[in-house]
Structure 1
């Protein structure tokens, strides 16, 4: 423990012995003032201010007063508070600082102290009573709770007008302090802190982050600052302020998709204080990573302006996967002007490039992981690559007409080029159908390397006898991009003495995708050399005849109009609802070049178009029995258009296939404890997908909207910043998921959906230790998952059909990966007031598990590894 920390704690104990008595009641806790200087001429005052938390004593007898203070700037809210109470509020902050805060407002009957607490909720500020007529407002000190990283109590996007406690939806906010404690560097690892989310391997034509939320794919439901982040790339956390996982109905706010929910990444933006943070990491897996976060005010004559830049560079490997390499660089500058005015503007840019040696892991052997060596790499390290170079420019403008009327717009231009050549290890071909025991199949599985011959292996074949392992080459070159604008107005007003928080918005733009795909198969034989399961030769020279199989051009133009209104019916009840209308218009064409002799290309598709227009609905009721909690019920719809992922087929257009339609119900409760330092929430839910698209396994142009899928379950989560350096994030989800109807795959009915574990659990908790140390431990559990919703089990044994052609299935098995537990640990120690040492150990027990499943390959999780770093703050 540093000398300064010891002095601060001693002062705190002395101050807490002081009791303030006056005609308005007894204020139980005294004050602690700690002063720090951050940058030139910018003094920052820090103080912990507390009102008697016991609820006993004179404070409980203060008279109730009626308040009607709108959501808006904090300075205006405090003025309204002074008029309503007759009290004087003293602000102990640098001049102009208060203008950077917003208040959630307060409406209803409250004690004067409770009303002020609600006004300050979420600002990082707190208060004390100085005398009978004066309340003092200041900044929380770094006592045992971080000044800059409190428990999140709101969603960053303007379309969500209510604090988290009153938002009728499961929302998991992963704040900065969690990312720092866990040493997280990717979106993928960030989301391990959210119950109900499971991760999957990249697809053949689209690499990058792939996940399911509450049982349904959310690959296209990843947003950046409220706008869809369409690119196929692996997202880095270096420029995150926080990550928000909104589970349940979200069609009103986000448009197409959002069946199980959405992920929003909130970017860092300029702040009023000057600071420099530099973090370094060095790992046993050869990781070398450095990030810098630099913020500086630049001009007062522009109404308050600041500049911020975040930079990241990383090189490293993956523990247990010797050939895999990660190389990333990120650069994200931003500038804000008018920070102290009614018109605030932020221009930001993010560049993230990646040049990896990718890893598609290990092969299946019918229904399970093939008996391969955990460390085996079946590709060509010198020839396999994944290169992305993403550029995202964003402009945000917000104008405040009054505390009750706000207009904001966000415009974006993004470009996502990528090139990939990845080796996918395969043994036998995938089964096209799940055929039960006693059923007849017309042919046996073929060898993946040469699909003209029957696979000679069985599920019990020893690894030493698998000598023909296919190296399927997934090669693609593509550019995705979008131009988008989203404009919203937020208004707060009253009708018939009921307060409304009203949001209306319009958004639209265009998205493009232009992939070029390749193949190395000629006359049903892969021209890339095969290898063996036990002894793949990583140094073998790459060879093969590659050729282009398709050149695709897709452009989608879309527009969405929506409104949401939250009505404060009384102090205890809120009713909200909204409607959205989306128009999604897609043009698609596919060119097929002439293949070499024996080669096969995708059939050319003349320009085709598809137009979908669809409404979405939402309604919710919130009951607030206390200012610290709420109970809610929520209903919502969403839809998945045919070209959601910017891909079309003749079957979708000619068959006039309807969009997939989703309907969700959710009931839950949220509660805060310990002076809002601990937030807990739980929910039960039910989501059903109708018109699920199915492709005829015998004719890919025959597509129907005839499937039905159901997920119902419950989840619980908690996040807290508690005394004694205790940070806590935990969650549990139970998902009862299954196919309830299928036209082309009737044997899948009753079986689980793809990549959906029945149970998931996450925990990470830190606590202060002796000798000035702070330690943390955590764990993750992911239940078993199936590989496919249409083919959940595969035949594993056959006999010649005595009654005709084909083969009788004699045995079947579920095609799934087992569940797993992993454990992590962290320890950190301040070396000085500005330098901190931190070490993280991941997968402490070196568990061998499948982290990212795919129907055609399996990616194991990283083995045991340690990350050691030094963090600098100036």
Structure 2
């Protein structure tokens, strides 16, 4: 805390006027560093060493250095993350093998983010991944963890930055970050982005703007109001067909090749406004309240590409015919959220307590049509040797018939971190959620579901010094059977309405150390995550209900390292090792299933043994900094195809940055330097290719 001393006016005797006490103004810390010391991913503003779970943070510096403009590119460099192909990646992202995005585990500033739109990093200060079950903090979902996008906030300094990027695939990208110090404790920040890329046929055009005004910064009462708008239009590369040899997927078509139609589209839009207030109490506590309302839209009409006849490596040629099957997905969500979180420290019973408590309310009014292709004429075929042939198919579908959904949730939680001794802390928390949802399908079916659930969390932390922290923690999570995705595929009978929530638990033992004189943070953890009542279709009444008869687990280790080894040398490393993962119980029979979904005893789909990323930079001259990195992912099975697998792969990236002056610099990024051809996302009949080799040059100016 700091205070501004005032001189007593003449004749005032010994009486001084009132002194205004203010906290030191915050200045962004992640712009020039690969590590962070504090985070709000666990609610409140906590040191990473006080969170008894694995937390991986990708800062703005790391995102810029690697030119990670798309949110999914950040996830691809995060250990433990895999992708299910289909719906162009919007449908399902996995963390430690458990569904992430479909369960709604993507957040922005601690509030749930709708899954419909294509995210961009132009307004991200950092992206934080909390791994392991976390329903005590966030409610439904969060079996494998959650991802939080921390938005850029105004700060008390005049500082501006403009970046222009030109790259392969006819990429042109312009971003601006403008921060205005408008008053003693007020600031306005504007982030904006324009992005155009042809991508050899898979076009993308994006526009984004995010203004935020913040006042009362560092005072007792702080306010902010912000708007976010992101509009993305383009033609998606939905998939490539595979050839199987010896049970291994062979991605033989060039990753650049776009075989979709000229009028395919993937158009998404997100617009939301956020109002927040922070009240700081005298006893070192604060109450943060956020209100957000937004509208999110997605309109997909794409072509699923397949071989027109059985094809092998020997018969594959430029003349091989490809069919184009329509895939469509349309959705609109009106999402309203209110969250109020208290965090504070106090002494009671001779012990120091760090209390977190809060309440949050959530309502999602949604409309969906998950495969609206009725009325479309057959698409013309194409050949392997004629990508991006310009062929079109008129959109003759007529008005979209929507299913409508209304999901509501109220949650209350409290957590206490008690200092039992100067070096030992005990963590205990409990959350209660009441979830209600209703739906009205366009075929006339209706239904409702209501659940009340308790989510505990416990942990023990030993901190023998300021540079080390050892912990053990236990947490739970649940997935309701009534969100806007899981009503939809059940057909007229809506069997999921009769199914209670799935439940999971996570046990983690780990340690975090400050290394290299506090310039870097090293974390190591062992975990066991178990979903112990997974949904299975009832074999006797497949049309009317599902059973919570399934069970699966994943056991492994996490490794994280971020920071500076020397003033010139920076390193970011994260690795997930899952040597043991298994479907423990399932009613799916292998003999009848053939090559389909995983059965009892199988390793779960999209759960590689090894995955991770390494990135390092070194300043070899005062004006020249170079960097290199490796992304890798082990062999894995697609969902719904247990008898085949995709090979492991690694890609190499490189960077060189030259500073002409302190205010002007140029950076060259090379992505997938060896032009590795690999399957990035997997589904039961196809894959999405990984990014081909790209070169991008960015010019940056500060003023």
The question of a shared fold, defined as TM-score above 0.5 by the shorter chain, is answered with yes
Residue 313 (structure 1) aligns with: 194
Distance of 2:613 and 2:344 partners within structure 1: 38
| TM-score, normalised via structure 2 length | 0.90
Cα distance in structure 1, aligned partners of 2:378 and 2:570:
54
Counterpart among 224, 227, 237 of residue 349 in structure 1: 227
Report what 2:260 is aligned to: 379
Q: Does 1:615 align with 2:454?
A: yes
Question: Post-superposition shift, 1:536?
Answer: 5.7
SS at match of 1:179: helix
SS in 1 for 2:551: strand
Alpha-carbon distance in 2 for matches of 1:123, 1:576: 30
1:723 maps to which residue?
566
Partners of 1:683 and 1:715 within 8 A in 2: yes
In the superposition, relative to structure 1, how do residues 512 and 659 fare at CA in structure 2: closer, same or farther (>3 Å)?
same
CA contact (8 A) 1:550 1:590 kept: no
The answer as to whether partners of 1:193 and 1:729 remain within 8 angstroms in 2 is no
2:467 to 621, 625, 628: 628
Aligned equivalents of 2:693 and 2:512: distance in 1? 36
Query: SS of 1:271's equivalent?
Result: coil
- 210, 221, 225: which one aligns with 1:332: 210
Q: Is the 8 A contact 1:188 1:209 kept in 2?
A: no
Q: Secondary structure at the match of 1:643?
A: coil
Q: Secondary structure at the match of 1:235?
A: coil
Partner SS, residue 234 of structure 1:
coil
Tell me how far apart the structure 2 counterparts of residues 532 and 200 of structure 1 sit (CA, whole Å).
Answer: 26
- Asked if 1 retains the 8 angstrom alpha-carbon contact of 2:366 and 2:484, the reply is no
Superposed, 1:574-653 pairs within 5 Å as: 574-591=425-442, 604-648=443-487, 649=490
Confirm whether residue 231 of structure 1 aligns to residue 115 of structure 2: yes
User: Within the alignment, does 1:208 sit opposite 2:51 as a pair?
Assistant: no
* Counterparts in 2 of 1:541 and 1:158: CA distance versus 1, 3 Å: closer
Q: Distance in 2 between matches of 1:147 and 1:693?
A: 44
Match of 2:183 among 284, 295, 299: 299
Match of 2:638 in 1: 787
Distance of aligned partners of 1:674 and 1:370 in 2 relative to their CA distance in 1, 3 Å threshold? closer
Q: Any stretches of 5+ residues in structure 1 without a counterpart?
A: 1-73, 80-94, 103-121, 125-145, 428-448, 450-455, 592-603, 794-813
Task: Report what 1:388 is aligned to.
Answer: 268
Map of 1:100 onto structure 2: 24
Per-residue CA deviations over 1:568-606 (Å, capped at 9, x if unaligned) read: 111110000111111111111111xxxxxxxxxxxx242
CA distance 1:518–1:180, change in 2 (3 Å): closer
Q: Is the CA contact 1:728–1:765 (under 8 Å) kept in the aligned structure 2?
A: yes
Deviations 1:688-735 (A, max 9, x none): 112212346894544222211111101101001343432210111111
Deviates more, 1:554-563 or 1:279-288: 279-288
**Structure 1 ranges of 4+ moved more than 6 A:** 95-98
Distance 1:419 1:97 in 2: 51
CA distance in 2, matches of 1:839, 1:150: 19
The residue number in structure 2 matching 1:704 is 547
Give the aligned partner of residue 75 of structure 1: 2
The one of 360, 371, 392 aligned to 1:507:
360
Provide the secondary structure at the position in 2 that maps to 1:662: strand
**Is 1:743 matched up with 2:605?**
no
Indicate conservation of the 8 Å contact 1:408/1:489, yes or no. Answer: yes
Q: What SS is found at the alignment partner of 1:190?
A: helix
* In structure 2, C-alpha distance between the alignment counterparts of 1:461 and 1:531, rounded to whole Å: 19
Q: In structure 1, what is the equivalent of residue 316 of structure 2? A: 463
Q: TM-score, normalised by structure 1?
A: 0.73
2:251 and 2:673 map into 1 onto residues whose CA distance is 25
> Offset at 1:625?
1.7
What's 1:690 paired with? 532
Other-structure match for 1:261: 145
Per-residue Cα deviation, 1:413-444 (whole angstroms, up to 9, x for no partner): 011012111111134xxxxxxxxxxxxxxxxx
Larger radius of gyration: 1
SS in 2 for 1:463: coil
Deviation at 1:408, TM superposition (A): 1.3
Q: Is the 8 A contact 2:257 2:388 kept in 1?
A: no
Go from structure 1 to structure 2 and tell me whether the alpha carbon gap of 1:202 and 1:160 turns closer, same or farther (over 3 Å shift).
farther
SS at match of 1:341: coil
1:527 to 378, 401, 407: 378
Equivalent residues of 2:34, 2:570 under 8 A apart: no
Give the whole-Å Cα distance in 2 for the aligned partners of 1:699 and 1:467.
40
- In structure 2, the CA distance between the partners of 1:374 and 1:299, relative to structure 1 (3 Å rule), is closer
CA displacement at 1:551 relative to structure 2: 2.1
> Does the 8 Å contact 1:257/1:644 carry over to 2?
no
What is the rounded CA distance, in whole Å, between the counterparts of 2:48 and 2:434 in structure 1? 30
What per-residue deviation string (whole Å, max 9, x for no partner) do you get for residues 227-279 of structure 1?
01013122111101111000012111110000000000000111001101111
Cα distance in 2 between the residues matched to 1:689 and 1:298: 51
Decide whether aligned partners of structure 1 residues 147 and 554 sit closer, same or farther in structure 2, where only a CA change above 3 A counts: closer
Aligned residues of 2:2 and 2:21 also touching (Cα < 8 A): no
Give distance in 2, aligned partners of 1:679 and 1:398.
29
User: Is the contact made by 1:363 and 1:369 (CA closer than 8 Å) also made in structure 2?
Assistant: no
Residue 518 (structure 2) aligned to one of 667, 671, 676: 676
Whole-Å separation in 2 of the counterparts to 1:710 and 1:623:
28
3-state secondary structure, aligned to 2:202: strand
Structure 1's 422 and 192: CA in aligned 2 closer, same or farther, altered over 3 A? same
Q: Report how far residue 764 of structure 1 moved.
A: 0.5
Deviations 1:832-859 (A, max 9, x none): 1210111111111111111222234311
CA distance in 1, matches of 2:66, 2:319: 40
8 Å contact from structure 2 (residues 39, 48) kept in 1: yes
1:626, distance to aligned residue in structure 2 (A): 1.6
Alpha-carbon distance between aligned partners in 1 of 2:399 and 2:325, rounded to the nearest angstrom:
15
Q: 1:417 matched to which residue of 2?
A: 297
Distance 1:238 1:183 in 2: 11
Structure 1 786/570 Cα, relative in aligned 2: closer, same or farther at 3 Å?
same
Q: Residues 784-812 of structure 1: CA distance to partner in whole angstroms, max 9, x if unpaired?
A: 12111x5412xxxxxxxxxxxxxxxxxxx
* CA–CA distance in structure 2, aligned partners of residues 786 and 580 of structure 1: 35
CA drift at 1:565:
0.6
Question: Does the 8 Å contact 1:554/1:646 carry over to 2?
Answer: no
Assess, with a 3 A threshold, how the Cα gap between structure 1 residues 123 and 572 changes in structure 2: closer, same or farther.
farther
Per-residue CA deviations over 1:739-765 (Å, capped at 9, x if unaligned) read 111113456222222222110121110
Q: CA deviation at 1:375?
A: 4.0
Aligned-partner Cα distance in 1 for 2:42–2:508: 23
Query: Which residue of structure 1 lines up, in the alignment, with residue 607 of structure 2?
Result: 756
TM-align CA RMSD = 2.8
2:277 and 2:52 mapped to 1: Cα distance? 28
Runs of 5+ consecutive residues of structure 2 not aligned to the other structure: 6-18, 591-597
Instruction: Please name the residue that 1:483 is paired with.
Output: 336
2:389 alignment partner, SS class? coil
Between the aligned partners of 2:334 and 2:196, the Cα distance in structure 1 is 27
Contact 2:186 2:214 in 1 (8 A): yes
Aligned length, in residue pairs: 673
